[in-house]
Amino acid sequence: MNKSRIQTGKQHSLARGAANLGSIAASWLILQSILNASPALADSRPPQPSLSYGELLEKIQSREVSNVEIDPTQQVVRVKLKTPVQGKSEVVVPIFLQNPELIETLRKNKVPFAVQPTADNSAALGFVVNLLLIMVLIAGLLMILRRSANVSNQAMNFGKSRARFQMEAKTGVKFDDVAGIEEAKEELGEIVTFLKQPEKFSAIGARIPKGVLLIGPPGTGKTLLAKAIAGEAAVPFFSISGSEFVEMFVGVGASRVRDLFKKAKENAPCLVFIDEIDAVGRQRGAGIGGGNDEREQTLNQLLTEMDGFEGNSGIIIIAATNRPDVLDAALLRPGRFDRQILVDAPDFKGRLEILNVHSRNKKLDPEISLETIARRTPGFTGADLANLLNEAAILTARRRKEAITIDEINDAVDRVVAGMEGTPLVDSKSKRLIAYHEVGHAIIGTLLKDHDPVQKVTLIPRGQARGLTWFTPNEEQGLISRAQILALITSILGGRAAEEVIFGDAEITTGAGNDLEKISSLARQMVTRFGMSDLGPLSLENQSGEVFLGRDFVARNEYSEEIAARIDSQVRNIIQHCYEQAKQIIQENRTLIDRLVEILVEQETIEGDKFRQIVAEHVPLPEQQLASNF
């Protein structure tokens, strides 16, 4: 079907080219006929005659003519008169094609005459026109042939691999340029060593892994690791994205996979890097219509090439994805991707190393501590940290400073986390209501033992938020306890609790809409996934997936309606208890909250250390979590 379409396209292009040549040829033929029919058009017209043919004969007979030149080509005679006529001694007189009477009269009166025909350029002009026409026709044929050759070449190369190939990948990236993921670097360093010194491993019977799958969230450095491997190994390097295999024509993706591995075998040992492999490696048989589509044929060919009857010795496949849950099981088995390396968000030490790498070309103020920045940015990936320093550099240039200061770092952190800064609010009822809302979050987070300490409270709008409260953990958190989740829910409800206690139930606003979404999700996960309720240690719900990612088309509950009602009841009890606790804290610290609101309205931002200092002047910071029995 595809071949017939391509041939039809070639026939259409040839037909259009022939039609264009026909029109050009017709135009040239018409021009040629005009030029041949009127050769005298190329020459200047003769002047208007001063004598008629009869008057000329009379002048000859009266011996008033001294000389005559006959031009049979233009059918005129040029006459020299002894007596000027109308002030002219030379005149031009038209004659007939045959002029025996004129010649006889000239001879009879012994007037010297000569026949001098003008050169006829019509033949030469016709030759030139024909030559130009032939050249135009030849040039048109060459253009048509070249276009048809390009079409055929595109048809032949349609199934070729689009992988970018380098004999020695000069990516400019080494392992020293990759920081914060030391475990991944160590495992990938073995791959580089095997490529450089294979005898070191083969001497004891070790076999090189066929494939390495890099798994991790976006921005953690998976592609950067692949570039570092290519830069360190100094072997032929193929790089391609998973989406470049798949086309609308069935069979093209499989053809490109075959062509890629064919080139890789010719240049073994080598590295093949496939970025975003989930574009082609998703589970087979997903969706409503079955599994015989272009993507699945491409995946089948990839599975065959990686571990089929023919061995691919010396070819190492490195792939990257942030969606390992959607990959086909056959792709993940040993023998295809032997190693799965997790490239997760860096810890404090990793963030510090990443900041050291990205600050090499930045002018930093001597007072800036990279350790402080690393502690303030938990959960940031390598890409986030690079963007943070770049935003700080942009702000520094905009403010015309010579070096990046802590102010630019703080503003860059706020911009990366919450968005661009908006226009500050004017002092009004709305501003004070937002101030009470944010102080409600901050005061409860400060007074609860199991909550992260507050970092900043601000009324400066950022993004869609009219006010913001930041909390920063003191240490890296791998696991979260039940007490921490309850403290988090209570602090999130602090904004709505402050609105109700201070302004009354009729004045609560829509500002807590996002807060309510968060706590509903947290409370439901406590009941259905983490087993933190009276229902016991049960996991009743899994993370749902879409139909085209290899999941069920119809979502099915794994529990009865009675259990569903109990789940809803438990979620409601958790949220209601935390809300009552938040209102109690707000009521008991009303004086302190009023003072904090006055300071916040005046200064618009309160840093975490100052906030805790003010709270400590009124109430002691708790050493234990408030009672949370329900």
> Which amino acids are annotated catalytic?
438
Q: Which segments of 160-251 are extended strands (E)?
A: 164-166, 211-215, 237-241
Q: Supply the DSSP string of 527-574, one letter for each residue.
A: HHTS--STT-S---------GGGT--SS---SS-HHHHHHHHHHHHHH
Spatial CA neighbour of 323 closest among 375, 276, 259, 258 = 276
How far is Cα 622 from Cα 611, in angstroms, rounded to an integer?
Answer: 15
Backbone angles phi, psi at 250, to 5 degrees: -70, 130
DSSP three-state, residue 81: strand
Measured in whole angstroms, the distance separating CA 469 from the mean position of its chain's CA atoms is: 34
Tokens of 306: 């990686």
Residue 342 has a CB neighbour count (10 Å cut-off) of 13
Tokens of 595: 């003072």
How far is Cα 375 from Cα 570, in angstroms, rounded to an integer?
Answer: 36
Among all chains, which residue has been given the structure tokens 């025996």? 100
How far is Cα 151 from Cα 502, in angstroms, rounded to an integer?
Answer: 75
Spatial CA neighbour of 528 closest among 561, 562, 555, 564 = 564
How far is Cα 569 from Cα 577, in angstroms, rounded to an integer?
Answer: 12
How far is Cα 247 from Cα 507, in angstroms, rounded to an integer?
Answer: 57
How far is Cα 382 from Cα 346, in angstroms, rounded to an integer?
Answer: 8
Spatial CA neighbour of 166 closest among 306, 277, 279, 263 = 263
Pairing of strands 211-215, 605-607: unpaired
Report CA torsion sign: 113, 118, 119, 123.
negative
Report CA torsion sign: 355, 361, 366, 367.
negative
Q: Supply the DSSP string of 306-351, one letter for each residue.
A: HSSSS--TTEEEEEEES-GGGB-HHHHSTTTS-EEEE-----HHHH
- The residue count of the chain comes to 630
